[in-house]
């Protein structure tokens, strides 16, 4: 719902602390990072759980890469739409021809609307990853994972607080 209202707010993570924004990926956390956080916190994994988690980590990483590459292609395409031939010095005219300008902006808007799709796909990947982890783990292990993830985000917030409160030298 938020993605359709203001996808830029969601992608920028304006509500997050500086350290959290540093790790932001398409409006939220990278699912593969959460897997890394929890793997070290779970004790007594069975061989079947280890195989399942390794497979999940690999498939999640591949899905993240595909989404990241798609977003990069969208960014490049959007940039190409905005920086068009009509902006080159040889064809520079001021003010730019309005119909040409509007057609470029319309094309850019259509491409920009695809950004919502990337955020929704990333959210879906986060949801699927957590759901799959829940299927692989016992209730006790799941509880430990929730605590580990909460601690991870708490530490990111503490890091931001320390960073913002650090003494600064003029220079």
Output the pTM of the full model: 0.78
Domain borders along the chain are 2-86+96-161
Q: What is the pLDDT of residue 162?
A: 92
Ranges of residues in the chain whose predicted pLDDT is under 50: 88-89
Q: What is the pLDDT of residue 23?
A: 76
Q: What is the pLDDT of residue 3?
A: 55
DSSP per-residue codes, the chain: -HHHHHHHHHHHTTTS-HHHHHT-BTTB--HHHHHHHHHTT--S--HHHHHHHHHHHHHHHHHHHHHHHHHHHHHHHHHHHHS-GGGSGGG--SSPPHHHHHHHHHHHHHHHHHHHHHHHHHHHHHHHHHHHHHHHS-HHHHHHHHHHHHHHHHHHHHHHHHHHHS-----
The pLDDT tens digits of the residues spanning 65-102 come to 999 999 999 989 888 877 765 554 455 555 567 777 77
Q: What is the pLDDT of residue 96?
A: 60
């Amino acid at each position: 719902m938020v993605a359709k209202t203001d996808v830029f707010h969601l992608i920028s993570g304006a509500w997050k602390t500086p350290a959290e924004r540093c790790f932001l990926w398409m409006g939220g956390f990278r699912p593969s990072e959460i897997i890394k956080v929890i793997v070290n916190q779970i004790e007594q994994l069975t061989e079947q759980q280890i195989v399942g988690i390794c497979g999940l980590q690999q498939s999640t990483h591949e899905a993240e890469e595909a989404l990241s590459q798609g977003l990069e292609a969208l960014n490049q395409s959007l940039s190409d739409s905005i920086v068009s031939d009509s902006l080159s010095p040889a064809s520079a005219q001021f003010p730019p021809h309005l119909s040409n300008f509007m057609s470029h902006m319309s094309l850019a808007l259509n491409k920009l609307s695809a950004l919502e799709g990337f955020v929704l796909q990333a959210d879906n990947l986060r949801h699927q990853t957590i759901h799959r982890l829940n299927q692989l783990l016992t209730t006790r292990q799941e509880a430990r994972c929730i605590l580990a993830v909460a601690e991870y985000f708490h530490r990111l917030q503490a890091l931001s607080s320390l960073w913002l409160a650090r003494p600064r030298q003029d220079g």
